[in-house]
């Protein structure tokens, strides 16, 4: 197997600026075996003449690493060309000083990926890049998941954007967006192309994109995923979370509004509404996804988690000797539970900081192994104790089942599980990786009491209690009308298409069907149809 970094590949994207001119996009070959942990995506963008924008973006992505651990990439521009560097792996694995030093410019975007649409391949890493007919370059990064990907892909096909191309095709909704955005810029500015395209896009999306001079950011009309604007001394920053603004020394200005497009260049910051806002922020960001040191819609994530724990103690009390949290996202709720209940809080689990989250790892075998690698009980703390174990959520039940077995082996007398979110019973189509109802342990039984008993038995707990949806919403201090709670109550704020038009591999299926229908079965791997 070729070692990472042993060979770099340079892709030439020919433009129409002048005969023979081109943009050079340098990338590394992907690793053949890739078992990195997976989360959401994180996006970052900076416009700052005179600053080292590549390094600022690197630090911003570092702060957002928890949102995507499959791949990372940075695009920069200096007014004349767009350069993109991306690869599979963590931010620290993809970039080094030499790479960052070869990426000068005044505008940059960055992306760390977890896959919601498309497989884990180098081609699907972001930012995606496209040339316009006018000879300019467009790079784009996307956090979220679209629900009309099949419709947009068909539009790209009908507009002649399907072609034979090497390398192997990208198969993401982000790639479709990049293709349509660049195509629309042939007869208009990139800004106008975005204003034409975005109203036709349905789903959850936070976008950062750029050309040679301008940084753009856009958020879907429901604002499902967070996106913030920050100020540098000599520029501007946009990021998925406010913690990334803190890391690069940017002051928080405001959240980018649902249905808003920002353009940032030498003329300043321009804001345009492309749709009327109907906010439906993901409540699971407060529970698990976001960093505790981030702020969403004016509410501290850490403070929300502590308050969830307090309310959980009032709603689901139990006698015990010690409250412990499952690091990291379960810890603040455990602190709140201990404060409200008066039961001693203790650190009963040690976390290996170098092992990623087990919530969304690539396979069941890796998940189960990852739990043992990730957490280890402190035997002297928990031996002989009746424990209350506070965790952020139960999705598949794998983590809790293995964890409770470890705690009992370490000497716990009783283990009572308290969960800082309601039962996850419905799949998410807006950017979280539990799309299959069959994977949701709470979805196996219809009756609520029977479901609680079934889950309790499955994970091996002495008792089990979830916070109510009302309690969770109250802890967030957001109006219920402004939150997406679909994974808990099945109320989807964005209309979903037929089930056949959904799913992680919708574009792979479309391309395979197109190849068969067009008699292209004999195409070589590098000739498979692809949006470009």
The CATH number of residue 58's host domain is 3.60.20.10
248 and 167 together in one domain:
yes
Residue 284 in tokens: 């699971």
Asked if 16 and 135 touch (Cβ cutoff 8 Å), the reply is yes
Bridge partners (DSSP) listed for residue 456: none
- Asked if pLDDT for residue 529 goes beyond 60, the answer is no
Asked if pLDDT for residue 69 goes beyond 90, the answer is: no
As for how many domains the chain has, the answer is 2
pLDDT tens profile 19-48: 333 333 433 333 332 222 234 699 999 999
428 is in an annotated binding site: yes
Range of the domain at 23: 8-280+506-531
Same domain, 368 and 463: yes
Strand boundaries in 247-287, DSSP class E: 251-255, 260-265, 268-273, 281-282
Predicted TM-score (pTM) of this structure: 0.85
Would you say residue 498 lies in a domain? Answer: no
Q: Is residue 227 part of a domain?
A: yes
The band of 120, judged by pLDDT with boundaries at 50, 70 and 90, is: low
Regarding whether 326 and 354 lie in a shared domain, the answer is yes
Question: 506 pLDDT exceeds 60?
Answer: no
pLDDT value at 449 more than 90 = yes
Residue 263 lies in a domain: yes
Work out the angle at residue 23's Cα, subtended by the Cα atoms of residues 21 and 25, and round it to the nearest 5 degrees: 150
Dihedral (C-alpha) 265, 271, 273, 279: value to the nearest 10 degrees? 110
User: Is the residue at 473 inside a domain?
Assistant: yes
Question: In this structure, is residue 291 part of a structural domain?
Answer: no
Q: Which of 328, 221, 244 is nearest to 62 (CA)?
A: 244
Q: Is 22 annotated as a binding residue?
A: no
Are 131 and 13 in contact by the 8 Å Cβ rule? The answer is yes
pLDDT of residue 211: 97
Same domain, 339 and 442: yes
332 and 247 within one domain: no
Specify whether 435 is located in the same domain as 523. Answer: no
**Beta-bridge partner residues of 273:** 260
Percent with pLDDT over 90 in the chain: 68
Residue 7 annotated in ligand binding? no
Q: Are residues 355 and 243 in the same domain?
A: no
User: Per the domain annotation, does 496 fall within a domain?
Assistant: no
pLDDT, average across residues 188-193: 95
Do 164 and 65 share a structural domain? yes
User: What CATH number is associated with residue 457?
Assistant: 3.40.50.2020
> Using one digit for the tens of pLDDT, what is the confidence trace for 206-260?
999 999 999 999 999 999 999 999 999 999 999 999 999 999 999 999 999 999 9
Residue 345 DSSP code: B
Active site residue 112: no
Residue 352 CA to residue 280 CA, distance in Å, equals 35
Task: Report whether pLDDT(340) > 90.
Answer: yes
Cis previous bond, 449, omega within 30: no
Q: Does 438 lie in the same domain as 404? A: yes
Q: Provide CB contacts within 8 A for 217, sequence distance 6+.
A: 45, 206, 207, 208, 209, 227, 229, 238, 256, 261, 262, 264
Say whether both 263 and 330 belong to one domain.
no
| Average of per-residue pLDDT across 304-317 | 99
b or e along 155-175 (b: 16 or more beta carbons within 10 Å of the residue's beta carbon)? bbbeeebbeeeeeebbbbbbb
Asked whether residue 282 is marked as a ligand-binding residue, the answer is: yes
**pLDDT at residue 510 greater than cutoff 70:** no
Q: Given 483, 498, 522, which residue is the final one in a domain?
A: 483
Q: 336 with 313: CB under 8 angstroms?
A: yes
Q: Is residue 257 part of a domain?
A: yes
Q: Is residue 267 part of a domain?
A: yes
Are residues 113 and 80 part of one domain? yes
- Shared domain for 84 and 187, answered yes or no, is yes
Please list the alpha-helical segments (H only) found in 108-261: 149-158, 173-184, 190-197, 242-247
CB atoms within 10 A of CB 66: 22
Q: Residue 367: what pLDDT?
A: 52
The one catalytic residue in 7, 41, 112, 206 is 41
* Rounded-to-integer distance, Cα 482 and Cα 280, Å: 5
On the CB side of 209, CA atoms within 13 Å amount to 29
Phi then psi for residue 17, to 5 deg, are -60, -45
Spatial contact of 422 and 465, defined as CB atoms under 8 Å apart: no
CA 458 from chain centre, in angstroms, equals: 29
Rg (CA), the chain: 23
CA distance 115 to 125: 9
How many secondary structure helices (H) and strands (E) does the chain include? 17, 27
Query: What are the structure tokens assigned to 186, written together?
Result: 């042939």
């Amino acid at each position: 197997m070729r070692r990472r970094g042993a060979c770099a590949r340079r892709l030439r994207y020919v433009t129409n600026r002048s005969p023979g001119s081109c943009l050079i996009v340098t990338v590394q070959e992907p690793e053949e075996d890739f078992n990195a942990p997976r989360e959401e995506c994180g996006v970052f963008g900076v416009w700052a003449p005179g600053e080292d924008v590549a390094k600022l973006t690197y630090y911003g992505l570092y702060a957002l690493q928890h949102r995507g651990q499959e791949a990372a990439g940075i695009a920069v521009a200096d007014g004349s060309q767009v350069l993109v560097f991306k690869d599979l792996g963590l931010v620290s694995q993809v970039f080094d000083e030499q790479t960052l030093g070869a990426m000068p410019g005044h505008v940059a975007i960055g992306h760390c990926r977890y896959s919601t649409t498309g497989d884990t391949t180098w081609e699907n890493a972001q930012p995606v890049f496209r040339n316009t007919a006018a000879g300019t370059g467009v790079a784009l990064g996307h956090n979220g998941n679209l629900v009309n990907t099949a419709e947009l892909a068909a539009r790209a096909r009908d507009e002649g954007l399907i072609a034979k191309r090497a390398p192997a095709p990208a198969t993401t909704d982000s790639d479709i967006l990049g293709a349509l955005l660049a195509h629309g810029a042939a007869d208009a500015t990139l800004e106008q192309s975005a204003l034409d395209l975005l109203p036709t896009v349905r789903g959850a999306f936070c976008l950062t994109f750029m050309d040679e001079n301008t940084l753009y950011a856009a958020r879907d009309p429901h604002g499902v995923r967070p996106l913030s604007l920050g100020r540098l001394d000599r520029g501007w920053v946009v990021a998925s979370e406010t913690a990334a603004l803190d890391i690069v020394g940017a002051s928080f200005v405001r959240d980018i509004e649902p249905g808003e497009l920002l353009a940032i260049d030498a003329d300043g910051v321009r804001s345009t509404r492309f749709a009327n806002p109907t906010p439906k922020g993901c409540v699971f960001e407060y529970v698990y996804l976001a960093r505790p040191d981030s702020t969403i819609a004016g509410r501290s994530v850490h403070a929300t988690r502590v308050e969830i724990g307090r309310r959980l103690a009032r709603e689901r009390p139990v006698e015990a000797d010690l409250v412990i949290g499952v690091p990291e996202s379960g810890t603040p709720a455990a602190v709140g539970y201990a404060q409200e209940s008066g039961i001693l809080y203790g650190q009963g689990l040690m976390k290996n900081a170098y092992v990623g989250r087990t919530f969304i790892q690539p396979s069941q075998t890796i998940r189960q192994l990852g739990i043992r690698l990730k957490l280890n009980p402190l035997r002297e703390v928990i031996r002989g104790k009746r424990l209350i174990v506070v965790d952020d959520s139960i999705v598949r039940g794998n983590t809790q089942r293995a964890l409770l077995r470890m705690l009992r082996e370490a000497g716990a007398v009783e283990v009572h599980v308290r969960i800082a979110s309601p039962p996850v019973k419905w799949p998410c189509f807006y950017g979280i990786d539990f799309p299959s109802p069959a994977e949701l342990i709470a979805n196996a039984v219809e009756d609520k009491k029977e479901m609680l008993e079934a889950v309790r038995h499955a994970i091996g707990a002495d008792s089990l209690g979830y916070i109510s949806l009302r309690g969770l919403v109250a802890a967030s201090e957001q109006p219920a009308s402004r939150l997406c709670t679909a994974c808990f109550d099945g109320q989807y704020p964005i209309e979903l298409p037929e089930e056949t038009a959904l799913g992680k591999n919708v574009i792979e299926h479309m391309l395979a069907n197109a190849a068969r229908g067009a008699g292209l079965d004999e195409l070589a791997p590098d000739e498979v149809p692809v949006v470009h």
